[in-house]
Amino acid sequence: MSASEAALLSSTDVISAPDVARTDLRGRVESADSRIARDIKSLVAAGEMAAAHDRFVDLVAVHQRRACRIAMAYLGNPADADEVVQDAFVRVFQHIATYREDLPFDQWFTRILINRCIDRQRARARRDLRLVPLTEAAPQTLGHSLDSPERRVLVRQWREAIRRAVSKLPNRQRAVFTLCQYGGRTPAEVATVLGMREATVRVHLFRAVHRLRSTLEVWREAR
């Protein structure tokens, strides 16, 4: 798969890559990205690094949009999200030799990405301890016409309010909520990615939505 094909594939759907699957000789369903990851692992083992780099760019193209969405939703800062996504991909390549071919690549990569997000968030929290927080934007009356400048400002405020509300969630809740809400994952898939029981994921998800509910309700009004 070329980079342009992968980019097209990734732009059509959030989780498009695992959907493009084929069945191997042993009857397992193997997704396109897992197949590419397996190829890269073989190339690295054979010492063909230039070819491995080329193939890895294809893999990045498959996952980067979804990864950017998740990181952006988790961190709320595009510069941090960009850096975290790059770090996650570099880490994947550095540890490609440990990739287990019997597991979907998508799960492995998402776990690495979320761990990088959590690490970045903790580092930022330590840094922000020395900073004075901004005053929270107060809700305003909704009575503006569609697409008016006032409404755009209002929508931006609500988006910021959502970002702040999500950023106040505990790490586990935030990871679960981000993957379900913005990563297009079911609780069962998130349980596999994060190594939790599905019931635990549901509890985290319920608590996260419950805590965000008031903000989300206002957000719905602002739509």
Sites of contact with another protein (CB under 8 A): 3, 7, 14, 49, 53, 56-57, 60-61, 64-65, 68-69, 72-73, 78, 81-82, 85-86, 89-90, 93-94, 155, 159, 162, 180-182, 186-188, 202, 205-206, 209-210, 213, 216-217, 219-220, 223
Q: Nearer to another protein by C-beta: 32 or 205? A: 205
Rounded to a whole number of angstroms, the minimum distance from the CB of residue 129 to another protein is: 25
Rounded to a whole number of angstroms, the minimum distance from the CB of residue 132 to another protein is: 25
Cα of first residue to Cα of last residue in the chain, in angstroms, is 39
User: How many of the other CB atoms lie within 10 Å of CB of 15?
Assistant: 15
- Entry field: residues in the chain: 223
Q: Nearer to another protein by C-beta: 25 or 164? A: 164
Q: Nearer to another protein by C-beta: 132 or 158? A: 158
Rounded to a whole number of angstroms, the minimum distance from the CB of residue 22 to another protein is: 24
Q: Nearer to another protein by C-beta: 24 or 97? A: 97
Question: How far is residue 29's CA from residue 34's CA, in Å, rounded to a whole number?
Answer: 10
Rounded to a whole number of angstroms, the minimum distance from the CB of residue 24 to another protein is: 26
Q: Nearer to another protein by C-beta: 137 or 216? A: 216
